[in-house]
């Protein structure tokens, strides 16, 4: 993986949390996870991403689920699917990079030396137009390729790993590489191995795993497999800038109020004005998503003022008591 340094944590004031209220996300029951959870699904080849989401909803008997970062029918790999109220965090999934392993088929001969040179040329800012099959508007867009790692080659089949900004089209990337090589090329196979905070190496489950979990629950009263398969929704905001707030600041936020500076206990150093922010409890619960009205430096300097405008509330009202005046 690319060495992305994690942001530092800035402590603004001392505070403790009352353990009579709220709950550690890892301690949530299956019913709570079905309402506020996310599945790191291994998408199979064949169905569309929307069809896979529909299958998951039927298996888990849920009226609502959603995803970001659509994979084409033939593409496999990591497809995070948020459940029920958890769909409110889907925008946070666009914050991280995505990593793919692709098999590119060359249409002509090219030396390995020249191939490596061209792959290196594409490890930079690039410009792409979405492919014809895409439903996205066909306009030129800029994307960042963080890393291309050449893995192996079998004649005209080239296997490589690419880590890229969300929204990068690997099919288009292969065509462009072939054009620069002068041989022509197309994407033959593709698997997504990382999507933001989700990886195929951790907590990846299949639709069959979910079916087996449902059977264990319904026939034997054992919900352990489903609990393990459905991650706390907080997993989805692992890469998002964060503020941790005092217990007394939580209920006003749950009622839609903005977050003022005095309610912040600590924060990450990467908060940018007008950027997405995850508002967290001191028990690491995701309270809401909001839009920063100040950057981290301003929040640390000011004693009052609105720091974050609340946008999407996930925590139920009344989970924490209001602060006593």
Q: Please determine, for residue 98, whether its predicted confidence score (pLDDT) is greater than 60.
A: yes
Please report the pLDDT score of residue 48 as a whole number.
96
pLDDT confidence bin for 286, thresholds 50/70/90: very high
Q: Please determine, for residue 58, whether its predicted confidence score (pLDDT) is greater than 70.
A: yes
DSSP state of 91: G
Cβ atoms < 10 Å from Cβ of 140: 8
Instruction: Name the residue among 55, 62, 118 with its Cα closest to residue 86.
Output: 62
CA distance 104 to 171: 9
Residues 313, 256 contacting (CB under 8 angstroms)? yes
Q: Please determine, for residue 85, whether its predicted confidence score (pLDDT) is greater than 60.
A: yes
- Which fold is adopted by the domain 98-195? Alpha-Beta Plaits (3.30.70)
Q: Please determine, for residue 118, whether its predicted confidence score (pLDDT) is greater than 70.
A: yes
* Measured CA distances, 5 to 1, 152, 162, 185 (Å): 11, 29, 19, 35
Rounded (5°) CA angle 191-193-194: 135
Please report the pLDDT score of residue 93 as a whole number.
80
Q: What is the mean pLDDT of residues 192-212?
A: 97
For 9-21+240-313, which CATH superfamily applies? PUA domain (2.30.130.10)
Query: In degrees rounded to 5, what are phi and psi of residue 252?
Result: -60, -40
Element of type H or E holding 278 = strand 276-280
Please report the pLDDT score of residue 6 as a whole number.
84
Domain with CATH 2.30.130.10 in the chain: 9-21+240-313
Q: What is the mean pLDDT of residues 177-196?
A: 97
Give me the percent of the chain exceeding a pLDDT of 70.
Answer: 96
Answer CATH for 36-95+199-234 from 3.40.50.2000, 3.40.50.10540, 3.30.70.330, 3.30.2350.10 = 3.30.2350.10
Residue numbers annotated as active site: 72
Please report the pLDDT score of residue 95 as a whole number.
80
H helix and E strand count, the chain: 8, 17
Domain with CATH 3.30.2350.10 in the chain: 36-95+199-234
pLDDT confidence bin for 133, thresholds 50/70/90: low
**pTM, rounded to two decimals:** 0.91
CA distance 154 to 119: 17
Higher pLDDT, 136 or 20: 20
Query: In degrees rounded to 5, what are phi and psi of residue 169?
Result: -95, 110
Please report the pLDDT score of residue 163 as a whole number.
98
pLDDT confidence bin for 139, thresholds 50/70/90: confident
Please report the pLDDT score of residue 1 as a whole number.
43
């Amino acid at each position: 993986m690319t060495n992305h340094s994690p942001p530092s944590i800035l402590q603004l004031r001392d505070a403790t949390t009352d353990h009579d209220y709220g709950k550690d996300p890892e301690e949530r029951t299956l019913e709570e996870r079905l309402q506020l959870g996310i599945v790191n699904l291994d998408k199979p080849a064949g169905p569309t991403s929307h069809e896979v989401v529909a299958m998951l909803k039927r298996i888990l008997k849920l009226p609502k689920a959603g995803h970001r970062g659509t994979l084409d029918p033939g593409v496999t790999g990591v497809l995070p699917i948020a459940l029920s109220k958890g769909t409110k965090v889907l925008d946070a999934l666009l914050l991280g990079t995505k990593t793919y392993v692709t098999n590119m088929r060359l249409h002509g001969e090219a030396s390995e030396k020249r191939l490596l040179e061209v792959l290196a040329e594409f490890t930079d800012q690039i410009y792409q137009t979405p492919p014809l099959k895409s439903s996205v508007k066909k306009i030129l867009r800029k994307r960042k390729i963080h890393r291309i790692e050449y893995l192996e080659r079998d004649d005209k089949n080239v296997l490589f790993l690419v880590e890229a900004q969300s929204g990068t089209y690997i099919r288009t990337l292969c065509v462009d590489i072939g054009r620069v090589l002068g041989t022509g090329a197309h994407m033959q196979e593709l698997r997504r191995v990382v999507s933001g905070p989700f990886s195929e190496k951790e907590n990846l489950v299949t639709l069959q795993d979910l079916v087996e979990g449902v059977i264990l629950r319904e026939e034997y009263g054992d919900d352990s497999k489903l609990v393990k398969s459905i991650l706390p929704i907080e997993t989805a905001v692992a890469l998002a800038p964060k503020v941790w707030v005092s217990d007394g600041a939580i209920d006003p936020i749950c009622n839609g109020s903005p977050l003022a500076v005095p309610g912040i206990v600590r924060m990450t150093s990467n908060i940018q004005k007008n950027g997405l922010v995850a508002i967290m409890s001191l028990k690491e619960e995701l309270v809401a998503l909001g839009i920063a009205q100040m950057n981290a430096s301003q929040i640390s300097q000011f004693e009052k003022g609105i720091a974050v405008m609340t946008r999407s509330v996930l925590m139920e009202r009344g989970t924490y008591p209001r602060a006593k005046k």
